Amino acid sequence: MTTRARAVAVDLALTTALATAMFVEAIISTKVDGGLSPVGAVAIVAAAAPVMLRRRAPGLAFAACLLLLFPLFAAVDIYQTIPFPSVVTAYALALRGSRVQVLAAWVAASATVVATISIHSDHGLFHFETVKNLVIVVVPLLAGLAVSNYRAYLCSLEERAAMADQKREEETMRRIGEERLRIARDLHDVVTHSMVAINVQAGVAAHLLDRDTEQARASLLDIKRVSGEALSDLRSALEVVRGDDLDAPVAPTARLPRIDELATGLRAAGIHVDTKVEPGVELLPPEVDEAAFRIVQEALTNVLRHARPRRTTVTVRAVDDSVEVDVHDDGRGSVAGPHGNGITGMHARAAALGGSVTAGPADDGGWHVAARIPVGAP
């Protein structure tokens, strides 16, 4: 049975029950003389019939019940069951209608009670029966309003739960996107730096293979070391990609104490590199530590690829509530343009933590990269 068919069946059963109750009272009433007349039977059926409309048109059903009370009182001498159809339709109206409609229904029902008592009752208006009937008018309206408000409250809870689920899903997708971007930057930094260092060392080894065997061997060993470190960093990045839980803490392999290892590749290529990591830097939060390390790594990669300097200095210091990174070389002052992936990645890493990066020609020649990242950034 469909939902609509079930609703029709319920309304039909309710209408039949209300009509039956009025029929029973009319039959057993001591005031009935000669049994229930055909006009009275028709009046009872007509008075109960509007209940069938209570779902589709509750206002019309309620108004019809009130109007049919007058011919019902005139045709049948009953009092106890006569308000039942009005009570049912009043509840349906309060359940589905607005507060204005409920107020109008209360006024109309109260007026009807006063009118019927004035016309058909043996006692006056100022009687307990008047109060009782006025209460009967109010109760279904208040009950319908209470149920309507409760349903609206449940609906709002469901909407808020759905919105919360949607926000959680959006937040999860945002974090996944940020994590993918972070991994992409890490892979770019690791691969670029390592491949450049390997390329330079391979060139040195090829150049010195016949003239300086020991130096060529040192270059090959350095290639082995750099490639091994690159594989280790790549393995760490791929472990994050394979992991299912984004909340699981992942200890970064890129930390500032390893800066001197980055400089090894440049030194093997004949570049004098001075690294200085001042005290206090080792206490940085992991995300700030890794970002600063990657900025130094990208800056040194650009030095190795483009600048061809004789000397490079790297300084990392903790100043107030920030960490400052300074990379300066005395090369030709020409690196990849400001829109290259490397410099763009440095800007993105710093900006993600509320910091900033400047990169450009130095006043005394060469190239200068300066970054500042707040330690307390979200």
Hey, is 265 helix, strand or coil? helix
Phi, psi of 335 (to 5 degrees): -125, -175
- Token pair in block for residue 372: 């500042």
Residues 69/73/75/77 CA torsion (nearest 10 deg): 140
pLDDT of residue 171: 86
Q: How far apart are CA 323 and CA 320, in angstroms?
A: 8
Task: Give residue 333's region: left, alpha or beta (phi > 0; psi -120 to 50).
Answer: left
Q: Give residues with Cβ within 8 angstroms of 248, minimum separation 6.
A: none
Q: What count of residues does the chain have?
A: 378
pLDDT of residue 187: 74
Domains and CATH numbers, the chain: 3-126 (no CATH), 166-374 (3.30.565.10)
Asked whether the beta carbons of 369 and 299 are under 8 A apart, the reply is: yes
pLDDT of residue 239: 67
Q: For each of the chain's 378 residues, which pLDDT tens digit applies?
A: 788 888 889 989 999 999 999 998 888 875 555 567 888 899 999 999 999 998 889 999 999 998 998 888 888 888 788 889 999 999 999 998 888 888 898 898 888 888 877 776 666 666 667 777 788 888 899 999 899 999 999 999 999 998 988 888 888 888 878 777 777 777 777 777 677 777 777 777 777 777 777 777 777 777 777 777 777 777 766 666 655 444 444 444 557 777 887 787 777 777 888 888 888 777 788 888 888 888 888 888 888 777 677 888 999 988 888 899 999 988 765 544 444 567 888 888 888 888 999 988 888 778 899 999 998 644
Q: How far apart are CA 300 and CA 297, in angstroms?
A: 5
Number of other CB atoms surrounding residue 130 within 10 Å: 17
- Token pair in block for residue 206: 């090829």
Q: Which of 165, 144, 147, 167 is nearest to 155 (CA)?
A: 147
pLDDT of residue 97: 82
User: Which H/E stretch holds residue 33?
Assistant: none
pLDDT of residue 242: 59
- Token pair in block for residue 319: 């100043």
Q: Which of 229, 237, 312, 233 is nearest to 270 (CA)?
A: 312
pLDDT of residue 339: 44
The reported pTM is 0.48
Residue type, 72: L
Output the CA–CA distances (angstroms, integers) from residue 30 to 17, 25, 39, 129, 287, in the order listed: 22, 10, 18, 20, 91
Q: How far apart are CA 342 and CA 5, in angstroms?
A: 68
Phi, psi of 374 (to 5 degrees): -65, 135
Asked whether the beta carbons of 329 and 315 are under 8 A apart, the reply is: no
In order, the DSSP letters of 214-255 are HHHHHHHHHHHHHHHHHHHHHHHHHHHHH-S-TTS----S--
pLDDT of residue 80: 84
- Token pair in block for residue 131: 């109060």
